Amino acid sequence: MTATLTVPTKEQATSFMRELGFEDRFMGYVLKASGQMAVTVYTLEAAILFLGQDNTAYTVVDQFPGHDVHVAYMEPKALVDWIREVIGDVDLADAIEAASSEIPQESGYPPQLRSMRELMSQRFLQYMDVLGIGPDSGVEGGTNAEPTGT
Amino acid sequence: MGNGYAGKILVVDLTKRSTSTLNTSDYAEWGGGHGMGSAVFWDLCKDKTVKAFDPGNVLTVMTGPLQGTLTPFASGRCEVQGIAPEGFPIEWYSRSGFGGRMAGQLKYAGWDGIAVMGKADKPVWIDIRNQNVAIRDAGPSGDNLWGLDTAEVEQAIYKLVRNNDTVNWTQYGGSRDSGRSTMNPGVLSCGPAGENLGRCASLIHEGGGGAGQGGFGAVFGSKNLKSISVIGTGAVGVADPKALMEARAWAESNWWDIDNLKPGLPGMYTSTPSGAIGADPINDVGSRDNSCLGCYKSCHGGHTSRGLAPNSSCFDSFYNMMGPFSADHASSDNAVTTDRLQRMGINAWEAVMSIPWLVSLFKLGILGPGKQIDSKLDWADVGSEAFNKAWLEALAYRTDVGADLAEGCARAATKWGRYEEDTTSGTLAICAHGYAHHYDARKEVEWGYGTALDGRDINEHDIALTLYWYTSMAPLFGMPYIMPAKDLVEMIGSTLLPYKDPMMLDFSDEGIYSDAMIKFISWHRAYNRFWKQSAIFCDWGVTDWINPYTKGYKGLTPELEPKFFNAVTGKNLTFEEGMKIGTKIWNLDRAIFALQGRTRDLDALAEWQFVSSKMAAHSVYEVPYIMPAFENGQWSYKNVNSRMLDHAKFEDWKTRYYTFEGWDPKTGIATRETLEKLGLGKVADELAAAKKI
Amino acid sequence: MSENEERNDETTYSPQSGLSRRQFVTGVGGIGLGVVLGGVITGGLAQPASAVAIEGSEGYLVVDGHKCVGCDSCMMACSLTHHGDLSFSQSRIQITQNPFALYPDDLTVAQCRQCPFPACVEVCPTGACHVDAANGNVRTVDASKCIGCERCVDACPFTPSRAIWNGIEKHAEKCDLCADTPFWNEKGGAGGKQACITVCHMKAITLQKDVPVQSGDVGYNVNLRTKDASAKLKLPTGDDGFYTPAEVAAAKAAAAAAAAAAAATVKVGH
């Protein structure tokens, strides 16, 4: 079952990219050889970057779990709820939930993470597209995004 | 033949600029390492209430019989102890270990350890060449070492000791037979952070082998001591060389085979070489892994063609800076920042773990340019190389907000009036005694309780590797467990001599307050105090509880430790007898805490660990933390991630624990009867004189 | 032999060639036969009747200096099995390392090469340093005959000298391929085991029977990283100790994949 991602309006995209206040922050955990560490994110973009650092796709974990395993853990249900209720992008939340439901539980976290990250990334690129933001724009938080014309 | 000991402990009085020796045999009952260091500290530090930076503080750098002897996990280890500036609110006497090649040099020079007391009137370094000890001028009028970073000073000392020729055999002493070596000296140094009395300053050896926790780098700084260098050309005798070679062959046969590398287990990352930090084919042309002396684990980082962060591993890598705040989080930057951290001589743990708290204060508008806590660092740019550089320099040189944070987070938070609030909410995630949260005290209580009872973050990974990492990572990666929980706890439980009780590994909500957990904590303190910190076996080698390379995954503990110990020393020490020595050492350390002012209310954990902390709109501590739990008559692997501790239950547990150890439940201090049974009558006398018992 | 023939013959030592004796001894390869005449090495194949032929060793330690992790276990094992105690200064193999030097210059494995023309044997006035025919022709020191003149130490053409002075037991010594290891239950020598090889978990030392190429280091410092798990451990597997072009390409591809996975390319505030 796949959910549909309708193209957001400019206002929606701006809102979804906004920087949140302290009370609305979300937390992920880095699970690394040296221990676990909480990482706080205040934007959807930061969450995507955080998940992007996970290297379980190209660390041969089941063969030889090494020192360089870097698991970027965000509790899937909590992340979906945050996207739905705090960020406000209901479509994205639904899409992630739908995709996750098709991943067998036994395959563990990495396929879930990749699925979430892929959808979030594509959606974020959609926001940028809608707002006419190029990839090299150095705009803070995207809230006052100006089209760069590139 | 010998018994592994060199025979003498060097005592350096920097005030008097004099040296003397102690006979190691007078301290043999303590084994070596930390135990011996505590006993030497007890004798040499007359007033144990002195502050860490007082000249009366005695810092010891100790080895034991196994160092320099081919014993894996042990050969390369040193233990540092003394009154530690990092402790809060009291500078609890503490310890820190490091690996590399220094332990071997000390032993071959004829020393089991060094005790440094007093304070030099000007910067100095201690130059040990076999039995020749010189206190040399490290200032501008002398060897000009003060002010250098830890890499610069070590390289400078190589040249000084080897007369600028680091290629040929270097002759020591004036005669043909006085000794030669091709080795560089073993060097231990403080960096700028230690010179500036940063409470989280580390001591660095070989670029990355570091005694990190405790702030002993600042103890060096407070004594005007820049470095200790030692080169040894002598030999260490062992009781049974053939048995030692056989033990080595046996242990190595139960390890990975580089020609036939079999899969490991998820989460058991420490059974592999660690690799050089930041080494990658894009930024380097090549690299190698590094091992501490005599060890086949190779988890001591490595060397790269960029030469960054040598011998740095694990948390040395400033990994937090690979956070979402930095778009440039490549391993390349990681190596640059780690290199800077090590050169400055700053404890990685404190430097990194304080960042989330400070960013929270920034986001709350409390910290920043012109804010209540004024800081001109670019807190919106945390994680970039520019920020990392500025942050580390602020800590090392006490500039900007580093002026307060060089005192450690706990003291800074106190000064800012934020300690109570932030350690209750968990925004400042201190575990206990001013040391940052590490493994989760609420779940792995052996980490939490051990830390509360000790004087520092215990950093002892026995449970963390097996019953958190392995048990949590297997399902995270969709891999079946190697055996059911019941079998695993029975396998590990059988090693918990003398008790051999699998219930000691029950981390259920009831189990963490149980009498069985009392036994486990008691066992864990004793095992670590003797086998790990005194014998000295590295925390990353033992306990060997789940071994991916043996039949049925059964680890080499408790066979490995006494096998090597006895091959070297010729004693017939059993594992249990070693545990008894561990209990004795634990009691000696607790006595030092008592003299420093420890009472049961200071055997405490920071408040957030007792408070339900739903941090933000949708975040909970929902990280899989799967541990064995015995509930309803059954063992299972259970996710205990949302648990908080309970004050009343913890206090009740403490009372029972104290009673179990033979300590006064009202104070947490050992009774005279207990101390005398352990042969610590003179310790009881000093406690009585101080009206502690 | 004419002068021309002498000059063209690879085995010929000729003052006109500009080679020093030391260079000659190290540079001649492939023959495995040294010729000694009363302490003077001469060249050519036509020898006076009193010439004594030195048989080549039946074993040579060959190492991969790029794989070595510097644990020094080989040094400790060498000392322990030969002497019963542990000292770097009693080890006949030396691992010299400087953690601050740039890889690959951070570490060197200095093993004895069992030279076909052993200068250490040649210069020994008492025959203490000799070729042990009973033990695979290994070049070794009979400590009972050593008079402590250190000519062998000085004569070794390599740095640091492989013939070493043992200041503890007061005699010269050198690698004997563990022919004489009274403190070990294994049988050593060219036909047996070596303690350094046994303890090396990286398998960075091997024993080979054929004489290695003598010129330079290529014969004695080889690539042992292509068939083991070095690639899995993300170590460089090139002959020169560097990452291979394939390894570099794979790393670049992985980095590109990581960047693509992160996807969002707006640099916020940077």
The model's pLDDT over B216-254, given as tens digits with 9 standing for 90+, comes to 999 999 999 999 999 999 999 999 999 999 999 999 999
- Helix/strand/coil for B171: strand
Angle CA B609–B614–B617, to nearest 5: 160
> B64-81 burial, b if ≥16 CB within 10 A, otherwise e?
bbbbbbbbbbbbbbbbbb
Beta-bridge mates of residue C214? none
CA distances from B210 to B335, B462, C105, C151 (A): 16, 20, 23, 42
Residue A34 pLDDT > 70: no
Distance of CA A139 to the CA centre of its chain: 19
Out of A64, A124, A140, name the one closest to residue C263 (CB). Answer: A124
- What is the Cα–Cα distance from B103 to B114, expressed in whole angstroms? 11
- What is the Cα–Cα distance from B609 to B581, expressed in whole angstroms? 32
pTM of the model: 0.92
Counting Cα atoms < 13 Å in the Cβ hemisphere of B554 gives 11
Between B109 and C39, name the one with better pLDDT: B109
Reduced to 3 DSSP states, what percent helix, strand and coil does chain A have, rounded to the nearest 5? 45, 10, 40
Residues of A in contact with B615 (CB under 8 A): 25, 27
Pick the range with the lowest mean pLDDT from B178-192, B339-353, B501-515: B339-353
Q: For residue B467, tell me if it sits in a domain.
A: yes
- What is the Cα–Cα distance from C156 to C174, expressed in whole angstroms? 11
Contacting residues for B550 by C-beta, under 8 A, at least 6 apart: B254, B556
Q: For residue B44, tell me if it sits in a domain.
A: yes
Reduced to 3 DSSP states, what percent helix, strand and coil does chain B have, rounded to the nearest 5? 40, 15, 45
Report the mean per-residue pLDDT for chain A.
Answer: 79
Distance of CA B657 to the CA centre of its chain: 24
The model's pLDDT over B185-205, given as tens digits with 9 standing for 90+, comes to 999 999 999 999 999 999 999
- What is the Cα–Cα distance from B321 to A41, expressed in whole angstroms? 14
B627 is written with which tokens?
A: 């541990």
- What is the Cα–Cα distance from C170 to B365, expressed in whole angstroms? 72
Strands (E), C129-214: 129-132, 138-141, 164-166, 171-173, 205-208
- Residue contact A125–C263, C-beta within 8 A: yes
| pLDDT < 70 stretches in chain C | 1-52, 258-270
Pick the range with the lowest mean pLDDT from A20-24, B588-592, B620-624: B620-624
Question: What pLDDT score was predicted for residue C153?
Answer: 97
Residue A67 pLDDT > 80: no
Taking residue A98's Cβ as centre, other Cβ atoms within 10 Å add up to 15
Interface contact C109, partner B, CB < 8 A: no
User: Do B243 and B524 form a contact (C-beta atoms < 8 A)?
Assistant: no
Angle CA C39–C44–C48, to nearest 5: 60
Mutate which of A51, A56, A64 to disrupt the B interface (most B C-beta within 10 Å)? A64
Average pLDDT for residues B581-593, to the nearest whole number?
A: 98
Rg (CA), chain B: 24
Nearest to C64 by CA among C95, C86, C18: C95
Strands (E), C111-230: 129-132, 138-141, 164-166, 171-173, 205-208
Residues of A in contact with C258 (CB under 8 A): 52-53, 55, 58
Interface contact B481, partner A, CB < 8 A: no
Query: Which contiguous run of DSSP H or E holds residue B667?
Result: none
- What is the Cα–Cα distance from A40 to A50, expressed in whole angstroms? 9
Between B159 and B622, name the one with better pLDDT: B159
Distance of CA B68 to the CA centre of its chain: 19
Q: In this structure, what DSSP letter does residue A8 have?
A: P
Strands (E), chain C: 33-37, 40-41, 52-55, 60-63, 85-86, 94-97, 107-110, 129-132, 138-141, 164-166, 171-173, 205-208
Give C225→chain A minimum CA distance, Å.
Answer: 18
As for how many domains chain B has, the answer is 2
Query: Which contiguous run of DSSP H or E holds residue A140?
Result: none
Average pLDDT for residues A78-88, to the nearest whole number?
A: 95
Residue linked to tokens 């020192």: A67
Mutate which of A20, A34, A80 to disrupt the B interface (most B C-beta within 10 Å)? A34
- What is the Cα–Cα distance from C241 to C251, expressed in whole angstroms? 17
The model's pLDDT over B523-582, given as tens digits with 9 standing for 90+, comes to 999 999 999 999 999 999 999 999 988 999 999 999 999 999 999 999 999 999 999 999
- What is the Cα–Cα distance from C135 to C189, expressed in whole angstroms? 6
Gap between the terminal Cα atoms of chain B: 45
Whether the ω angle into residue B471 lies within 30 degrees of 0, i.e. cis, is no
The model's pLDDT over B24-45, given as tens digits with 9 standing for 90+, comes to 999 999 999 999 999 999 999 9
Question: What pLDDT score was predicted for residue B444?
Answer: 93
- Domain holding B594: CATH number? 1.10.599
Query: Which contiguous run of DSSP H or E holds residue B583?
Result: helix B575-596
- Helix/strand/coil for C55: strand
B-C contacts at Cβ under 8 angstroms: 243
Q: Provide the chain B residues 571-610 that lie in CB contact (below 8 A) with chain C.
A: none
Question: Could you say which of B171, B200, B231 is where a domain stops?
Answer: B231
- What is the Cα–Cα distance from B590 to B595, expressed in whole angstroms? 9
Q: Indicate the pairing of strand B132-137 with strand B124-129.
A: antiparallel
- Helix/strand/coil for B623: coil
pLDDT-derived band of residue B438, with 50, 70 and 90 as boundaries?
Answer: confident
Contacting residues for A11 by C-beta, under 8 A, at least 6 apart: none
Contacting residues for B314 by C-beta, under 8 A, at least 6 apart: A33, A34, A67, B274, B299
Question: What pLDDT score was predicted for residue C13?
Answer: 36
Residue B12 pLDDT > 90: yes
- What is the Cα–Cα distance from B671 to B127, expressed in whole angstroms? 43
Average pLDDT for residues B267-286, to the nearest whole number?
A: 78
Average pLDDT for residues B269-286, to the nearest whole number?
A: 79
Average pLDDT for residues B508-528, to the nearest whole number?
A: 98
The model's pLDDT over B361-418, given as tens digits with 9 standing for 90+, comes to 999 999 999 999 999 999 988 878 888 899 999 999 999 999 999 999 999 999 999 9
Whether the ω angle into residue B536 lies within 30 degrees of 0, i.e. cis, is yes
Mutate which of A43, A67, A137 to disrupt the B interface (most B C-beta within 10 Å)? A67
CA distances from B74 to B22, B291, B293, B530, B614 (A): 23, 12, 8, 13, 43
Residue B318 pLDDT > 70: no
Q: Is the dihedral of CA B655, B657, B660, B663 positive or negative?
A: negative
Nearest to B451 by CA among B442, B461, B463, B459: B459
Question: Could you say which of B213, B231, B249 is where a domain stops?
Answer: B231
- What is the Cα–Cα distance from B625 to A35, expressed in whole angstroms? 12
Give C109→chain A minimum CA distance, Å.
Answer: 27
Give C234→chain A minimum CA distance, Å.
Answer: 11
Number of H helices, E strands in chain C: 7, 12
Gap between the terminal Cα atoms of chain C: 78
Beta-bridge mates of residue C139? C131
Out of C101, C201, C251, name the one closest to residue B282 (CB). Answer: C251
pLDDT-derived band of residue A137, with 50, 70 and 90 as boundaries?
Answer: low
Question: Could you say which of B199, B231, B263 is where a domain stops?
Answer: B231
Residue B678 pLDDT > 80: yes
DSSP assignments along B24-83, one per residue: GGGGGGG-SHHHHHHHHHHHH-S-TTS-TTSTT--EEEE--TTTTTT-TTTTT-EEEEEE
Domain residue extents for chain A: 10-129
Beta-bridge mates of residue C205? C63
Residues of A in contact with B329 (CB under 8 A): 53
User: Do B463 and B217 form a contact (C-beta atoms < 8 A)?
Assistant: no
Question: What pLDDT score was predicted for residue B550?
Answer: 92
Residue B65 pLDDT > 60: yes
Q: In this structure, what DSSP letter does residue B294 have?
A: T
Instruction: Read off the amino acid at residue A41.
Output: V
Residues of C in contact with A122 (CB under 8 A): 263
Query: Which contiguous run of DSSP H or E holds residue C122?
Result: helix C119-123
Q: What residues make up the domain containing B516?
A: 445-689
